[in-house]
Amino acid sequence: MSAASRRPARSSSATRDAASRGRLVKVGLTQMACGPNANANLTRQLALAGRAAADGAQIICTQELFRSQYFCQSEDHGCFDLAETIPGPSTDAFQQFAKTHGVVVVASLFEKRASGLYHNTAAIIDADGSLLGIYRKMHIPDDPLFYEKFYFTPGDTGFRAWKTKFGTIGVLICWDQWYPEAARLTALQGAEILFYPTAIGWHPKEKKEYGAAQHQSWEVIQRSHAVANGCYVAVANRIGHELVQGANAKPVNKDGLEFWGQSFIASPDGTVVQRASVQREEVMVVECDLQKVEFARTHWPFLRDRRIDAYGAITERFIDGTSGTGRR
């Protein structure tokens, strides 16, 4: 019997009972436009996080690389000056913020680990202000105006989940969102919510022809992670049309990038609970019932039915018998 045919057979009382036993947590996402002044961006991000906390958010996630414009539109050695250590100024600010407001924070930063060694990193801060750990972006893109391989060393933390005051969360970053393996390995560590700090948008010249499909693909793949893993997915994206200036004070690309916003939260059945706008700065606070994670994982038991004995070849680059174990 398929999962689709199994689930409707459950009585509505089971759903009501699950709701009555709910573990409720309010998740806050922020989306904003970034300017060239790093300190101003930090101040703005803290202000938006403050609004989320005032609205009752208990776990707050920033967009990717909130302290700067998306500098990866070009390969410029001067942009390494934007990086900071962890711990450092931003984590200090957010640790104090988390402690003051009693909230969990996921903050996305450009990390300087050592001279010549930089990462795209998320800091996970618990509600008492302690730095629980970091996640370094594992999948690094290299596409037109997304030249991240020039700046970021691939992550070496592995995929991780953290037990916070308000629930067990996993954190992945932007390009990671296209990889089911990353979501699965994070969920297998008990993550009830997957957070994705993000910076994604359109090439203005491509938007008319491909824009709708690109956005739809981006949202669908992440909603599928929610379904496949029976968990919430929370995605914070930036907004704004960014024309990043180079050393000559001229745009590094005359078209720039148009970030599409539309931060969203999807429930364990893949439904979009709330979606932000394309162009407006927003603070979104959504109540998530973590009991629905248990409900989803018992009624659609995908984790139970995994054939872990049959997946060894997933570690191959391509299954053609020319590399690795030679499996065909």
Q: Which of these is catalytic: 61, 72, 79, 174? A: 174
116-132: burial string, b at 16+ Cβ within 10 Å, e else: eebbbbbbbbbbebebe
174 annotated active-site? yes
Decide: helix, strand or coil at residue 74: coil
Sign of CA dihedral 315, 320, 323, 328: positive
Catalytic residue from among 34, 61, 64, 231: 64
Which is catalytic among the residues 26, 112, 137, 292?
137
Residue 322 DSSP class: S
Spatial CA neighbour of 67 closest among 52, 87, 45, 86: 45
All residues at 6 or more sequence positions from 144 whose CB lies less than 8 Å from its CB, including other chains:
203
64 is catalytic: yes
Q: What are phi and psi of 78, to 5 degrees?
A: -65, -25
What residues are labeled active site? 64, 137, 174
